[in-house]
Structure 1
Amino acid sequence: ALCGHQEGGGLAAHLLGGGSIASLLSRFGPLSEPVIRLFTRQLLSGLAYLHAQRTMHRDVKGANLLVEKTGCIKLADFGMAKTIAEAVSFTKSFKGSAFWMAPEVIRQQGHGVAADIWSLGCTVLEMATGKPPWAQCATQVQAIFKIASSSELPAVPAALSPQASEFILLCLQRDPAARPSAEALLRHPFVVIQVGSSYM
């Protein structure tokens, strides 16, 4: 379980009844930004740990994030996880869920830890909108084409704070080398817990 500061997150999870983030979104709609912040910080902590072990998750999305009633997040479905050694750092495989896939993965140009960061950005958008990223695309094929062949990014809701918007856009850099590491993103103002902040 990925647990951090639980103020607000535990209450939200208790009220929502637990389950995957995707199932919570389908039942209750978008999450509030304070709850997104808490869940994102926990997810980042988990990714930073995995990446430090030279392991990639390769399928980060709301359906693979389980919320316990305590407000802790569990990163599930490690069936896709690979160590960098196994993957030779750039696995040329087309696996995962297209709406959350990084451009380099769809173009089969390899899959390093930066692809998990792209998927993280897509998952933050999913929590903020209640829908998968690229939800305007009618099919996975259309989404795949848009992700791989255009310079377009998924729309970021105007209601999000500037810090949340910047965080998402940092994750969604089309050049994988330009995406910050999970460790660096843990220091971003969007996820840094401020003493005395209101969480709900």
Structure 2
Amino acid sequence: MAVKRRNENIQEEKNLPMQRDSQQKQVEGSPSYLAACSEFQQVMGNQEPRGWHEAQELYHPEMLQDKHVPRKIKKINLQGPRRMERSINEIQIMKRYRSPNVVNFLDSYLVGEELWLVLEYMDGGTLNDILSTTALYEDEAAAISRECLQGLHFLHSNHVIHRDVKSDNILLRTDGSVKLGDFGLSTQLSPEQSRRCSVVGTPWWLAPEVLTSQPYGPKVDIWSFGIVGIEMIEQEPPYWNQSPITK
């Protein structure tokens, strides 16, 4: 039986040492935190941050459906040097690009030091939840692969690299829908910058060029999804029981 995996990823800019979010904290009222909140408001159209009571109402049964689409709240603690940056990045990507194979972003709330993202609810859980109990048959793996590759094709056609493709970030619905989620590490390419060199992602799924800080493009997502293919048959990625070496 597969070991319940840790949902760990890394984010390291080239020539900079890796930092854990716990090493630095932003507290409400500090200049860095207020600056980050200001940036967040600009991304969301200069809307005022919404308070606890309004966000709490989303749990009310009458508020959990909009045109029969159930919602899920993803809470993100904004403490740490990279959390706000990643949260803003995730909102920008999900607001800009909508696809049947990408989890839909619905709304957001700033509650103290937490950012609450209101997302489409995937009632089947993650692919990892399934693989923690059973491997997939070939036809099941093929059906999931088709939907995921359609999602990646959509992102890559819009010059977006997901950079954290793994079974934890593939979500399912009981109606058979399969969607890519968690865009905190995604990046938008441009004609001026069509490659990246940052070491970003989860170690066991990283492509070789990412691990070695070589310039890379969207194809690194295909490598990562190839590892997901192995997961679907063997219930865990290769070398799962070995400590990752990222440099």
Aligned partners of 2:218 and 2:101: how far apart in 1? 19
TM-score by length of 2: 0.49
Q: Structure 2 regions of 5+ residues with no counterpart?
A: 1-99, 103-122
Over 3 Å counting, the alpha-carbon distance change for 1:89 and 1:69 in structure 2 is same
Match of 1:24 in 2: 130
Q: Structure 1 regions of 5+ residues with no counterpart?
A: 4-16, 146-200
**Residues 80-159 of structure 1: matches in 2 within 5 Å?**
80-85=185-190, 88-135=193-240, 137-141=241-245, 144=246
Aligned partners of 1:42 and 1:22: how far apart in 2? 16
Runs of 4+ in 1 over 4 A off after TM superposition: none
Match of 1:188 in 2: none
Does residue 75 (structure 1) correspond to residue 180 (structure 2)? The answer is: yes
Aligned partners of 2:224 and 2:179: how far apart in 1? 16
Higher relative contact order (CA 8 A, sep 6+): 1
AA aligned to 1:42 is E
Aligned partners of 2:184 and 2:238: how far apart in 1? 22
Match of 1:55 in 2: 160
AA aligned to 2:174 is K
- Structure richer in helix, relative to its length: 1
Aligned partners of 2:192 and 2:211: how far apart in 1? 16
Aligned partners of 1:133 and 1:71: how far apart in 2? 27
TM-score by length of 1: 0.60
Question: Which structure has the larger Rg?
Answer: 2
**Coordinate RMSD, CA, aligned:** 2.0
CA contact (8 A) 1:91 1:111 kept: yes
2:176 aligned counterpart, secondary structure = coil
Over 3 Å counting, the alpha-carbon distance change for 1:139 and 1:84 in structure 2 is same
AA aligned to 2:206 is M
Paired-residue identity, %:
34
- Structure richer in strand, relative to its length: 2
